[in-house]
Structure 1
Amino acid sequence: MNAPRLHGAIRLPDGTWIRGRGLRHPAPDGPPPDFGLYLGTSRLRRRHEDLLTWPSHWIDWPDFLLPRDRDDAVRRIRALHERARAGEAVEVACGGGVGRTGTVIACLAVLSGLPPSDAVTWAREHHHPRAVETPWQRRWVTRFPR
């Protein structure tokens, strides 16, 4: 696959590129994404949605917890992976860019063919050392449906 178009993107095990970031940090340099998947409550959404001028979707996902609607989250994460596989420049982000974002990146690694038992370690090596912050987030990754 081609090099990433988005500054700060990482390469998933299947060669697909994705950027993970925190919305509370300054936006990275370079072009905006083609699509973004954002993870947070309505409060985080109200704070940041007006700054996101590209197509996007929000998953209702409280900090340190799991998505309120599991099935919708699984569908949205799979769709994000498909967009990235099709060559779109995509990003995933939550407030800090660590726990929820790291959880989705670990799930994307599973969709990329990595065994679920290795996905959290992979996300910590390639995205952030504290990715997937809580025991329930780690369990969610290991049970993420391929």
Structure 2
Amino acid sequence: MTEPWSSTDAGILRLPSGRLVRGRGLSRPLPAGQEPTYAVYLLGSPPPQVAWEAEWLRWPDFRLPSDRARARELLARAWERAATDRVELACAGGRGRTGTALACLAVLDGVPAERVVEFVRRNYHPRAVETPWQRRYARGFQGPPSLPEPPAPTNRT
């Protein structure tokens, strides 16, 4: 198991299960401290090369993923890996696409669909999940059928 993110680091979202995931904007400098061990980059064009394992999900700005099945696959993989790895989700600005992807992880982690946008806005960024269609996508998100049930929430602080 990799040393986890610090819950006080910038951009860290703690899911109910205790998993920590970092969201960020690629247009800003890389935050000081630990680097991710796995990342999913949510961009309309290929991301820059990085020193850690990363995957690209084609997701144009202010839109939805171009390939919904691939989005389900990559976001489920990110959720699973967040149990043992430092996972990062990032788009250019770090709010719309990143917030939507974080909301999808929250759905996978057991947050009720009708509360995922509020959850991400309260715990990650107050303007996350920017567009009406991103909100609708997050609230209707379902992972792949083979995804295990989310673990019971932890009381870690």
Report the alpha carbon displacement of residue 31 of structure 1 after superposing the two structures with TM: 1.9
Return closer, same or farther for 1:3/1:34 CA change in 2, 3 Å cut-off. Answer: closer
Deviation track 1:34-93 (CA, whole Å, cap 9, x = no partner) reads: 011000011xx3xx513x2111000000000000000100110000000002x1011000
Rounded to whole Å, the distance in 2 between the matches of 1:4 and 1:22 is 17
> What is the SS of the residue equivalent to 1:117?
helix
In the other structure, the counterpart of 2:137 is 140
Q: TM-score, normalised by structure 2?
A: 0.84
2:57 matched residue in structure 1: 59
Residues 1:115 and 2:116 aligned together? no
Question: What one-letter code is carried by the residue in structure 2 that aligns with 1:74?
Answer: R
Of Structure 1 and Structure 2, the greater helix share is in: 1
Q: Which residue of 2 aligns with 1:38?
A: 41
- Provide the C-alpha distance between the structure 2 equivalents of 1:73 and 1:63, rounded to a whole number of angstroms: 15
Please report the RMSD computed on the Cα atoms of aligned residues, expressed in angstroms.
Answer: 1.5
TM-score by length of 1: 0.90
Other-structure match for 2:5: 4
Q: Which runs of 4+ in 1 moved over 6 A?
A: none
Residues of 2 paired with 1:10 and 1:120: CA distance?
13
CA distance in 2, matches of 1:62, 1:3: 30
Q: Distance in 2 between matches of 1:11 and 1:112?
A: 10
Q: How many residues of Structure 1 are paired with residues of Structure 2 in the alignment?
A: 139
Amino acid across the alignment from 1:4? W
1:101 is the counterpart of 2:98: yes
TM superposition shift of 1:143: 0.8
Structure 1 runs not aligned, ≥5 long: none
Q: Which residue does the alignment assign to 2:32? A: 29
- For the residues of structure 2 that align with 1:3 and 1:57, how far apart are their CA atoms? 20
Tell me, yes or no, if the aligned pair for 1:5 and 1:89 is still in contact at 8 Å. no
Secondary structure at 1:19's aligned position in 2?
strand
Identity of aligned residues (%): 46
Q: How far apart are the structure 1 equivalents of 2:112 and 2:55?
A: 27
In 2, are the aligned partners of 1:83 and 1:90 still within 8 Å (CA)? yes
| Alpha-carbon separation, structure 2, partners of 1:5 and 1:132 | 24
